[in-house]
Amino acid sequence: MTSSSAAEPRPPATFADAAEITAFAETLARFERGEIDAEAWRAYRVARGAYGQRQDGVHMLRVKVPQGAASSSQLRALAEVARRFSGGGLHVTTRQNVQLYFVKPADLEPAMRQLAEAGLTTSGSGGNTVRNVVACPYAGVAKDELFDVTPYAEAFTRHFLRHPLGQSLPRKFKVAFEGCGEDHVGTAIQDLGFRARLRGEGPTSARGFAVTVAGGTSTLCTSGALLLEFLPAGEILAVGEAVVRVFHAHGDRVNRQRNRLKFLVRSLGFEAFRELVLAELERIRNEGAPRLPFDPEKTIVELAPASRPSTAPPAGARETFAATNTRPQRQAGYSTVVISLPQGDATGAQFEGMAWLAKAYGDGAVRFTGGGHLLMRWIRNGDLPALHARLAAAGLGRDGAGSAADVLVCPGAEVCRLAVTETREPARLIEEEVRRTLAPPGLEARLPVRMSGCPNGCSQHHVAAIGLQGSIRKAGGEPTPHYLVLLGGYVHDGGAVFGQAAATIPAGLAPAVVARLASLYLEERLDGESAGAYLAREFDRASQAVAELCQPGSRPPERRSA
């Protein structure tokens, strides 16, 4: 990684491989000629990011954005691919990926090639692979970070991208890097989590990571266990190799519902698993452990973009937007700006607009977060009002980032074959209700609400203060959409706390339930208490409030929903 010194940073070396795309096209042709069966084709394309949709004959294409860092040219490439091949829409995921929908089989190859020209790939974005390696979106500019984890995460990405074992694991394998005191990427729910640590004090301190393993949500929610309290930074690739080798050799390849790493650790016992990993790590060291392509102790400092004239600002930015969507950087005079995408969705035109604004006001790049947001960094404080005005003109000036009105969703039953309920429209109705009844305090309080259309938890609803999980129940003899309400989930420095099931509610009650729970938090929270911690502490009281809303005489008018 190089420091920023111009309006657009030097484009990174590509993550794409033209030969791989050619092989993809040839394999598709073989499937269409009947030379391979549907299951072989499915396994092949899914590992390269092409998933089947609920609608026959089209695909969802998942694009990796390693470490969530995208240049302006990459935003424009995503926008153009969306315009040409998927009806113009894009969805930002919890793993800092971008998903495009309704891509025809014949359009998969040209879409991949256009993305490759901008350095982007779909390889390893799905299937039984080492998935996109996520990193803290505030890395390099956060006030409380120990050091910038971005180059370490990028080196990990490059080492395991198309790695022979990393392409043929028993099940998907997720990795995250965090350098801040607050865990912005949920390392505790990853198969392999790296938290920055320093050993010693002052200029002689050594960089390293606390390493956790076998976290995960969905079935058997598990907080990652501490594998190593301090791993020297130069050994991250070696420990990654060791864990991947053990998982590849011992993981369950038969029972799909029990083949994540957390099940292997549970079946072996943590100490037995740890001994296997440490023995493998010793072998790797003896073989000649893979090395980072930079000095792991070298200080990497982001520099301010090249100076340019300040834009004359119109009237001041909205106060709520400033309070909820901006954050001072550790570099004096600059802020990060959160662009909150409703339900994580944007249009290609909006991506084009963000590319232009990132060059005009920031460092020419954005960072994707795990919450359906994009971060613009290196925004001069004096430019915040002008930037907000231009974001608002593009439909990107939504305030309340991270509040109960900012519901994070998976794409739901509109496109996903596994989902049983829709998510986008219910989330929109929840936002409408929170804004109607609780603004502005309800928009300024951080209160994660996440909704998934099935138990798999693509929105990570298990670690939300309020998690909503889609289900179908019969009402009047007819199957109707409902949501299981989970309360009190959050990730903290010591690990993950998973939400407890409080009730199952009709979909139409979701807006009233979320607004009521948010109101309780605003009224009763302790100083500095997070929404997840409050709802865990007051679970019985919150559950009773939900139950009261479910009583026929207490229900608000039913809303049209999923």
For the domain made up of 325-393, give the CATH fold: Alpha-Beta Plaits (3.30.70)
Three-class secondary structure assignment of 468-533: EEEEEEEECCEEEEEEEEEECCEEECCEEECCEEEEEEEHHHHHHHHHHHHHHHHHHCCCCCCHHH
Domain range list for the chain? 18-117, 144-287, 325-393, 408-554
Sign of the C-alpha dihedral, residues 498, 502, 507, 510? negative
Largest CA-CA distance found in the chain, in angstroms, rounded: 71
pTM of the model: 0.94
Q: Is the peptide bond before 110 cis (omega within 30 degrees of 0)?
A: no
The first and second tokens of residue 224, run together, are 């990652």
**Phi and psi at residue 496, to the nearest 5°:** -115, 140
* CA separation, residue 18 to residues 108, 226, 344 (Å): 13, 39, 30
**For residue 213, what pLDDT is reported?**
98
CATH class label, 144-287: alpha beta
Phi, psi of 23 (to 5 degrees): -65, -35
**What amino acid is encoded at 363 in this protein?**
D
> Cα(270)–Cα(433) distance, rounded to whole angstroms?
45
Going by CATH, does the domain composed of 18-117 fall within 3.90.480.20?
yes
Cα separation, 409 vs 457, whole angstroms? 9
For the record, the structure tokens of 99 come out as 């998903």
Residues in CB range of 153: below 8 A, 6 or more apart: 66, 67, 133, 134, 135, 177, 194
Strand pairing partners for 366? Answer: 70, 376
Listed in sequence order, the residues at least 6 apart from 496 whose beta carbon sits closer than 8 Å to its beta carbon are: 186, 188, 189, 215, 221, 223, 224, 463, 489, 490
Burial of 164 (0-12, 13-18, 19+ CB in 10 A): exposed
pLDDT at 29: 97
CA distance 455 to 300: 41
> What kind and span of H or E run contains 356?
helix 348-361
CATH architecture of 408-554: 2-Layer Sandwich (3.30)
pLDDT in tens, the chain (562 residues): 434 433 444 455 799 999 999 999 999 999 999 999 999 999 999 999 999 999 999 999 999 999 999 999 999 999 999 999 999 999 999 999 999 999 999 999 999 999 999 999 999 999 999 999 999 999 999 999 999 999 999 999 999 999 999 999 999 999 999 999 999 999 999 999 999 999 998 888 999 999 999 999 988 999 999 999 999 999 999 999 999 999 999 999 998 888 999 999 999 999 999 999 999 999 999 999 999 999 999 867 888 887 665 554 444 467 889 999 999 999 999 999 999 999 999 999 999 999 999 999 999 999 999 988 999 999 999 999 999 999 999 999 999 999 999 999 999 999 999 999 999 999 999 999 999 999 999 999 999 999 999 999 899 999 999 999 999 998 888 899 999 999 999 999 889 999 999 999 999 999 999 999 999 999 999 999 999 999 999 999 999 999 999 987 665 544 444 4
Domains 18-117 and 144-287 share a fold: no
